[in-house]
Amino acid sequence: MNLQILLENRVEAAAIILFGIGLTTLLLNRNLIKKIIGFSFMDSAIFLFLASEGYIAGHTAPIQDAAGSLSAASFINPIPAGLVLTGIVVSVSVTAVMLSLTVRLYQRFHTLNLDEIVQLAREANEEEEEAND
Amino acid sequence: MEMVMTLLLIIVLLNAIMVVRTKHLLAACIIFMAQSLVMVLIWILLQSPDLAITEAAVGAGVSSLLFFLALKKIQAIDQGKENSAHEK
Amino acid sequence: MLWWQNIPFFSIILCLLSAAVCSVLPPRGARAWGRGVLGLCLAGGALLLAILGQPGSASFTFMMGHFPAPWGNEIRAGALEALLACLFPGVMLCALLSGAPALSSGRQASREPQYLSLCMLLMAALLSQAYSNDLFTCYVFLEIMTLSAGALIVFQNSSQALAAGMRYMVLNLVGSGLFLLGVVLLYYLTGHLLMENLFVSLQALAATGEYHRSLTIIIALITVGLSIKSALFPFHSWAPDAYSSGVPSSNAILSSLVSKGYILLLLKVYARVFGWDLVLLSHVDHLLLVFAWAGMIFGSLAAIRTSRFTRMIAWSSVAQIGYIFLGIGLGAGGGYQAAVYHLLVHSCSKALLFLSGEELRRAAGGSDTFADLAGAARKHPVYGALWTVGAFSLVGLPFTGGLISKLLLGGEALRHSPPVALITLAVLALSTLLNVLYFLRTMLILWSPGQEGSSKRGTLSPLGLGACGLLAAGILASFFLAQPLLEVITLGLSQFS
Amino acid sequence: MKNDLDRDLSLSLEESSPQASRLDAAHLHAHDTRIHRQDRAFSTRENQAHALSLGGYRALSVLVAVGVILVLLWGVMDLPAFGRDTNPVENEVAERYLAQGLQEGGATNLVANMILDYRAFDTLGESNVLFTAATAVLLLLRGLQTREADRSLAAAAPEAPADPILRAGARALCPVILLYGLYIILNGHLGPGGGFSGGAVMGAALILYREAYGSEKMGHLFSFRTYRAISFFALAFYALSKAYSFFTGANHLPSIISTGTPGAILSAGLILPLNIAVGFVVCCTMYGFFALFEKGEI
């Protein structure tokens, strides 16, 4: 019976699964590029969830004609679409910043592995400390 | 429409798993682009043309471009490092 | 609508506009503009506090556009918001004044306008966090905070700063994602995004007992998301690096303002969206209490272990964030009050420690190890004294605000059941002891007669000194004016619900 | 990995043989290297532990993912079903946006009404998120090329003269794409589209032109100064016009902005100018991202 509900809400279920995969990739994958892709997937999962909230079966996109003759009851909810629009902008902004940071890190450390980068930065720190002594 | 939606959702999830499993970063970025294109279709099915246009221009367009550029840059940094190693 | 009710709106718009303006001005112009705008915001906040802080005054809402509440967007200001509107620009102004030398020296100089532009964006985001009445607006400005704070870290071009910036970004994005999912689920349940409407719908839902499970999950998502972003104990791994690798002004802004912005948002979501009752029902306060206990001990232990001066200050932030969350975990009236009070005190103290600590470091030749800092305070006795004031406040000695917040927390703990009260008091005592240990050690090192030979008596910049002095005055004032301050906080919190 | 460890072990065995005890200096040197070797042996062992834990790490990732997914699925299972018109989100808020959006906002695209009129504060924040990102990328990547490690990079990848076909294609396509982007922006209040997507399309046209004709030629057309000026004016216009609208709205003052005739190109009050401003910001930012990633300079 639970499966029944899941199947009925399959857009939401897919969004949640995608969110889980994206979150885990962002958090635990060591490769920076994959982390960023994971972040993107996580965000699109949330947007998918949000957009599916506004969807009403059989209704159309909320675009009136000039005379305002279409019935308001024939449209889907415009709020989720607007929020997702904002969210997509935020997501691409973050992606650009993350990618530029990745390029800088690669130029400095020649690796895309975040664990190694943290390790190397720590070593550089200690060397500097020794040089100061 | 129901069937198409289900199919697209399955593709979305498969893409996500493939990104995690692939060894090639270029492949991962191409999958990212494919993912954006699938999302465009999903937005159209969900009756949100605004989102479809934006996703096509931004997700499949600019974002993917930035991913490829970043990879190219990383490759160039590698080559530059090798070159300077050879010079030494 | 009275004329002064436009102040919150104007300060947000002014900061957003200044971000664009700063990016096109030359460095000197941008610096002057940025300081001027922060000064204006501070003045506006003070005026607002003078009006709204009076006993019996009421909060007001301000329509952002032509449409009333459930349709349009809204901001709202009460006593607490006014207090924070003084704190945020004030501390940032001090950080920028005192940290100016590191920004305008050498290769950084040409990038200073961009730095100031980011500071302006951060200020706009912090103010919106305080004023906004809409959860999705909060999310958008949350992302501005995340991005601009990350850029402030990597402004310093060092390897450590870049690596710290990346770790910061990754964990903060996880936090944003969890928060956004929580907001989206809330919207799904209620169909609203404005806090008042959310509150009404959620109370109705809670009364019917429907969706209890989903509500618990939503509260957990938002709590964990914002805890990650404010570096509460088990999620703190990014914080010590991020707080200690940037330029001094970035360190001060990040540890004393950005984390506070997230805590403030959490408090607002608890009080104005869910209502305290619903939060208590979900038992998330127990979780916060445990995390806070662990963080208070763990942060202090780590601060003792580290051999670097700036990192020690950064680690002590982890412990201090634990204090604030201890207040939230203790809950019900007095706890929240203590949390807000400690939030104010910690903002001033941490900024002061970072900024005056930087001057001491420069006096010691730029080194960050304790061995090299020996005697640094003797070269700059004024900054030594200021640093000592900050340290006293975090230890909780008399005549500083830190004492009051510890008393408030201890007093509140006593009102709980014996096990909770006992553990809280024991943790408070232990943590204070550890604080004494490492701050006392550092002070002894700083004031010890060091090697005189390498003494480079740097020039004192009057502005930087004034800024640090202002922060120290804030710490002392929070002790001597504790009563009126607490009244304002209580008033502000009561206006929340 | 195993080979590495073997080699290290054999090295340390070699070292322990008593042959390096002749001269003090040599002894010291050997001592030094031994410490070094031990260090390395230590780190290899650590690496091996790493390799062993890689499997565990992967399992942990899967576990975390499955855990998060299950908890969330369990949590949303009792949420309202998909695609019904009785869900809580279909309340008076959405109803008013749909029923009165045309009169109150003036745009036939009701989503544009919602994001640029009803909830314009969010969108003001959104364009500033983009500006924050542009500033951050500028801080991170500007001047990257000119520094040490990358001098050789320029030599490794000299700017190849673009393909004549690409040039011809770009000459034909760029104006069309630019016009299309402009159309999307100007049509934002009448149909799907708007400043953001249109701006991204226009940015793509600029990027294509740059790829075909090289950054130098593009630099004449679109320099860093142009970039700064356009973003500044667009953002300032956005903030000021919205400030005017918020201020009049909150203080219940009459606003000079009228919604015009629905469906006409010059209608919907501030929505069209705002879309144009957003379009310019986005176009500049997208092109700026590209230029900074490619050359470290706009």
Asked if residue C483 and residue C352 are part of one domain, the reply reads: yes
* Nearest residue in D to C70, CA atom: D93
Note down the domain range covering C363: 283-451+459-497
User: D268: which 2 tokens?
Assistant: 């919907």
What is the tally of structural domains in chain A?
1
Cβ pair D197:B58 closer than 8 A: yes
* Closest approach of C467 to chain D, Cα-based (Å): 27
Name the residue among B50, B69, B79 with its Cβ closest to that of D111: B50
Asked if this assembly's ipTM is beyond 0.95, the reply is no
Q: Report the 10 Å Cβ neighbour count for D228.
A: 18
Q: For chain D, how many structural domains are there in total?
A: 2
Residues of D in contact with B83 (CB under 8 A): 152, 155-156
Instruction: Taking residues C3-22, report their average pLDDT.
Output: 92
Q: What is the pLDDT of residue D265?
A: 66
How many contacts, defined by CB atoms under 8 Å, are there between C and D?
176
The predicted model gives D25-33 an average pLDDT of 40
Stretch A34-47: mean pLDDT: 94
CB D156 within 8 A of CB B83: yes
Does residue D195 sit in the same domain as residue D254?
A: yes
Of A50, A97, A121, the CB nearest to C159: A121
Yes or no, beta carbons of A31 and B25 under 8 Å apart: yes
DSSP secondary structure code for residue C151 in this structure: H
CB contacts, 8 Å: D231 with chain C:
20, 23
Share of chain C above pLDDT 90, in %: 56
Nearest-angstrom CA–CA distance, C122 and C133: 18
- Boundary residue ending a domain (C104, C131, C158): C131
**How many residues are listed for chain D in this entry?**
298
Confidence of residue C429 (pLDDT cuts 50, 70, 90): very high
D239 within domain boundaries: yes
Q: Which of chain C's residues have a Cβ under 8 Å away from the Cβ of D245? A: 65-66
Cβ within 8 Å, pair D232-C1: no
A63 domain-assigned: no
- Contact assignment for D200 to B61 by CB distance below 8 Å: yes
Give me the domain span that covers residue D169: 108-295
Kindly state whether residues C266 and C288 are assigned to the same domain: no
Over residues C440-478, the pLDDT tens digits come to 889 888 888 866 555 555 567 888 899 999 999 999 999
Give residue-wise pLDDT tens across range C372-415.
888 888 888 888 999 999 999 999 888 888 899 999 999 999 88
Residues of chain C with pLDDT > 70, as a percent, come to 97
Token look-up 């009563």 returns C483
CB C395, CB C442: distance < 8 Å:
no
For C360, residues 6+ apart whose C-beta sits below 8 A from its C-beta are: C373, C376, C377, C380, C383, C384, C387, C446
Does some domain include residue A28? Answer: yes
Select the residue of D128, D140, D231 nearest C121 (Cβ to Cβ). D128
Q: Are residues C292 and C270 part of one domain?
A: no
What pLDDT was estimated at residue C117?
Answer: 94
Say which CATH number the domain at A100 has. 1.10.287.3510
Residue C414 lies in a domain: yes
Regarding whether C302 and C388 lie in a shared domain, the answer is yes
CB atoms within 10 A of CB C102: 18
Q: Which of D76, D97, D117 is the last residue of a domain?
A: D76
Tell which wins on pLDDT, D197 or D89. D197
Q: Please check whether residue D268 lies inside any domain of the structure.
A: yes
Domain hosting A25: range is 2-57+75-132
Residues of C near A (Cβ–Cβ under 8 Å) read: 136, 140, 143, 146-147, 150-151, 154, 159-160, 162-167, 169-171, 173-174, 177-178, 180-181, 184, 187-188, 308, 367-369, 371-372
pLDDT-based confidence at residue D34 (cuts at 50, 70, 90): very low
Question: How far apart, in whole angstroms, are the C-alpha atoms of residue C160 and residue A122?
Answer: 7
Q: Is residue C140 part of a domain?
A: no
For residue D27, what pLDDT band results from cuts at 50, 70 and 90?
very low
d(CA A132, CA B71): 37
Answer whether A touches D (≥3 Cβ pairs < 8 Å).
Answer: yes
The answer to the question of residue D223 being in a domain is yes
Q: Is residue D177 part of a domain?
A: yes
Residue D134: the pLDDT is 92
Query: Does residue D167 sit in the same domain as residue D276?
Result: yes
Of D61, D98, D141, the CB nearest to A100: D141
Q: Would you state the pLDDT for residue A88?
A: 92
Residues of A in contact with D192 (CB under 8 A): 61, 63
Q: What is the pLDDT of residues C234-266, one digit of tens each?
A: 899 899 989 988 889 999 999 999 999 999 999
Model confidence pLDDT, tens digit, residues C174-218: 999 999 999 999 998 888 899 988 999 888 888 887 788 888 899
Distance CA(C444)–CA(C7), nearest Å, equals 46
Per-residue tokens: A93: 């902004």
Mind listing the pLDDT tens digit for each residue in C75-134?
Answer: 899 999 999 999 999 999 999 999 888 887 766 778 889 999 999 999 999 999 999 989
Give yes or no for residue D286 having a pLDDT over 80.
yes
Average pLDDT (C144-173) is: 92
Higher pLDDT, A17 or B81: A17
Instruction: pLDDT band for C488, please (50, 70, 90 cuts).
Output: very high
Helix (H), strand (E) counts: chain C: 22, 2
The residue ranking higher by pLDDT, C316 or D171, is: C316
CB nearest C163 (choices: A22, A39, A117): A117
DSSP string, C126-195: HHHHHHB-BHHHHHHHHHHHHHHHHHHHHTS-SHHHHHHHHHHHHHHHHHHHHHHHHHHHHHHHHS--BH
C179 in Cβ contact with C220 (< 8 Å): no
Q: What pLDDT does residue D155 have?
A: 47
Nearest CA in chain B to A22: B16
Q: What is the pLDDT of residue C457?
A: 56
Cα separation, D190 vs A65, whole angstroms: 9
Q: How far is CA C309 from CA C385, C402, C433, C443, in A?
A: 17, 21, 19, 11
Inside any domain, residue A69: no
- Tell whether C81 and C211 lie within a shared domain: no
The phi and psi torsions of C433 (rounded to 5 degrees) equal -60, -45
How many angstroms separate the CA atoms of C46 and C84, rounded? 10
Tens digit of each residue's pLDDT (9 = 90 or more) over C260-275:
999 999 999 998 999 8
Instruction: Determine, yes or no, domain membership for A6.
Output: yes
Domain count for chain B, please give it.
1
Q: Which residues of A touch B31 (CB under 8 A)?
A: 37
Q: Would you give the end-to-end CA distance of chain D in angstroms?
A: 45
Residue A64 lies in a domain: no
| Mean pLDDT, all residues of chain D | 73
Residue D88 lies in a domain: no
Question: pLDDT per residue over D190-215, tens digit each?
Answer: 878 888 889 999 998 888 888 888 77
- Looking at the structure of chain C, the number of domains it has is 3
The pLDDT value given to residue A78: 86
Could you tell me which chains touch chain C, where touching means 3 or more CB pairs under 8 A?
A, D
Average pLDDT for residues D49-72, to the nearest whole number?
Answer: 77
Q: Would you state the pLDDT for residue D6?
A: 37
Tokens of C39: 């000064």
My answer on whether C396 and C432 are in the same domain is: yes
Whole domain around residue B38: which residue ranges?
2-87
Q: Which pLDDT tens digits describe chain B residue by residue (88 residues)? A: 788 888 999 999 999 999 988 888 999 999 999 999 999 999 999 888 889 999 998 888 889 989 998 998 888 888 877 776 665 5
Query: Which residues from chain A sit within 8 angstroms of residue B58, using beta carbons?
Result: 88-89, 92
Model confidence at D29: pLDDT above 50: no
Q: Taking a C-beta distance cutoff of 8 angstroms, is the pair C247, C165 a contact?
A: no
Q: Do B70 and A51 touch (CB under 8 A)?
A: no
Amino acid at C185: L
With left for phi above 0 and alpha for psi between -120 and 50, is residue C76 left, alpha or beta?
Answer: beta
Q: Over 60: is that where the pLDDT of A98 sits?
A: yes
- Whether D176 and D256 map to the same domain: the answer is yes
Say whether A92 and B59 touch across the interface (CB within 8 A).
Answer: yes
Residue C73 main-chain phi, psi, to 5 deg: -110, 150
- The residue of D68, D86, D116, D266 whose CB has the most chain A CBs within 10 angstroms, and thus the best one to mutate to test that interface, is D68
- Non-local CB neighbours of D229 within 8 Å, separated by 6+ positions: C24
CA–CA distance, D83 with D97 (Å, rounded to integer): 19
Same domain, C368 and C400: yes
**Least CB–CB distance from D78: residue in C134, C144, C211:** C211
- Give contacts of D79 with chain C, Cβ < 8 Å: 185, 188-189, 211, 214
Q: Do both D157 and D57 map to the same domain? A: no
CA nearest neighbour of A52 among C137, B8, D121: B8
